[in-house]
Chain A
Amino acid sequence: SQTIHQWPATLVQPVGSPLSLECTVEGTSNPNLYWYRQAAGRGLQLLFYSVGIGQISSEVPQNLSASRPQDRQFILSSKKLLLSDSGFYLCAWSAWGTAYQPQHFGDGTRLSIL
C-alpha cells in the first residue's frame, strides 16, 4: 500500500533562518506531488506542483521554493523565512496520468516563525 511521510511534525524557526521540509512517498511510482499551505480556519492554498523529477510549477509568487530530486521525494525550502511564512504545510500525492484521482495527504508540518 502507498504511504506518505512528512517531517518534522512541528518546527519553530527564527525570522531570516533557512527552511527545509521533506516529503517522501512509498508504494507508488511517478506520482504527482503537491505542497500546500493552510492558514488557520482557511482552505488549502496550492504552493507547488510536480509531475516528475525536476519538474516544478509554482502556483503563487512567494519566499519559498520546491525541488524534486528523486521520483518520490519532494522538498520545500526557503533561504530566509518571513513571519508570514508561518502556517500548516501539507504534502500530497496523486496517481500520475489522469485527473480523476484523489489526493493523499501527509500529516503536515506546523511551522511557527518567531
Chain B
Amino acid sequence: SQKIEQNSEALNIQEGKTATLTCNYTNYSPAYLQWYRQDPGRGPVFLLLIRENEKEKRKERLKVTFDTTLKQSLFHITASQPADSATYLCALGGYNQGGKLIFGQGTELSVKP
C-alpha cells in the first residue's frame, strides 16, 4: 500500500539557520507533491506545489525539491525565524485522482531565538 514518511522526530533549529524537512514515499507514483503548514488547533495552509517533471520550486524563503527516482521531496526554509515554528505536512496527488491527496504525518519544526 502507499506510504508517506516525514521526519519522525521534531526538528529544533536556531534562528537564522536553514531548516530541511524530508518527505519519502513508497508504492506510489505521484503526479505532484504539495507542502502545507499547520499551526496548533488550526487547519493546514497551502505553501507550495511541485509537479513530477519539476526538480525545484522556490517561493520567498521556501524551496522544495522533488526527486522521483529517490521518491523523496525536501522542503527548505532559509533564514528561519521563530514565526516559522509549526508542523509541516507533505501531500501527494496522483493522476486521475480528482484532486485527492495522501498526507504524511507531518514534522514539527521549532525555531529557537
A-side interface residues toward B, CB under 8 Å?
6, 32, 34, 36, 41-44, 46, 49, 51, 90, 92, 94-95, 98-108, 110
Contacts and interface: CB of A to CB of B under 8 A. Distances in A.
A102 B46 CA distance: 6
B43 interface: yes
7 contacts: A6-B43, A43-B4, A44-B91, A102-B46, A103-B34, A107-B41, A108-B43
Contacts of A103: 34, 44, 46, 91, 99, 101
Contacts of B27: none
Contact of B31 (A32, A34, A99): A99
Interface in B60-109: 89, 91, 93-106
B46 A104 contact: yes
A44 B101 CA distance: 9
Nearest to A6: B43
Contacts of B105: 41-43
B41 A108 contact: yes
B59 interface: no
- Interface centre among A32, A44, A94, by most chain B C-beta atoms within 10 angstroms, is A44
Contacts of B89: 43-44
Contacts of A41: 105-106
Given A43-B4, A43-B89, A106 B104 contact: no
A100 B104 contact: no
Contacts of A46: 100-102
B13 interface: no
B42 A32 contact: no
B42 to A, nearest CB: 5
- Interface centre among A41, A98, A105, A110, by most chain B C-beta atoms within 10 angstroms, is A105
